[in-house]
Amino acid sequence: MMFAIFFAFWRFMEIITLIPAMGMLAYFVHGYVDANLLTPNYILILFIVSVLALAWALFTLFSYHRSSANAQFVGLVDLGFVGAFIAGVYYLRFIKDVNCTNITPGSSADISFGIFGSAQLNTLDVSVDKTCAMLKASWAFGIMNCIFFFFTAVLAWFHGDHAEVKETRYVEETRRRSHGGSHHRRSHSGSHRGSRRSSHSHSRAYV
């Protein structure tokens, strides 16, 4: 039960962060395709990984019973996505040093307080580079999903070990019960044959 709660929570976190990342990266891929240009690796790698990871997260969340039965396989695939996201984040690492916002002094405005005088307010003009901001957000979402998929990989792996132990115990218990039942049947059939023999010998005594 606890595995299901934690696994579903981190899967939701992956889906929530992968959808905007995939959308922003798809915007860049579409722009390069329209311009008939090759998409740079730092965009393409993270985009492909995000698409595949989103599909995998949705599949394993909505087919939970199948995923829990193959928990170790799910954990192994999640661990593979951790490595893929690390590669995507590495290729886009240059964006972390880029300043996407530009703040410049704006116009000043006078504010009157009536008999208490007035004050001068200096405003600031903030401009944000859309391309830079979207790439930086996608890079941040990639780092987050490295952590999220590592959590789900560990959860699935430990759940698989626990399920394997339970299955082994169940098989051993089933064999023990079947062995005990066959022994009981043999002893019962043996006692039944003995009673039949004694009854036959008893009938011969009266003949």
- What element of type H or E holds 48? helix 41-62
Are 138 and 21 a contacting pair, CB within 8 Å? yes
Could you tell me which of 95, 97, 100, 83 has the C-alpha nearest to residue 42? 95
Indicate the domain borders of the chain.
2-97+132-168
16 vs 174 pLDDT, higher one = 16
* DSSP track, 92-154: TGGGGG---EEEEEEEEEEEE-GGG-EEEEEEEEEEE-HHHHHHHHHHHHHHHHHHHHHHHHH
Are 156 and 15 a contacting pair, CB within 8 Å? no
**Average pLDDT, integer, range 77-93:** 96
69 vs 32 pLDDT, higher one = 32
Residue whose structure tokens are 């698409």: 51
3 vs 156 pLDDT, higher one = 156
The string of pLDDT tens digits covering residues 185-201 is 555 555 444 444 444 44
Q: What is the predicted pLDDT for the residue at 67?
A: 66
Is the pLDDT at 81 greater than 60? The verdict is yes
Q: What is the predicted pLDDT for the residue at 185?
A: 53
CA–CA gap between residue 85 and residue 73 (Å, rounded)? 19
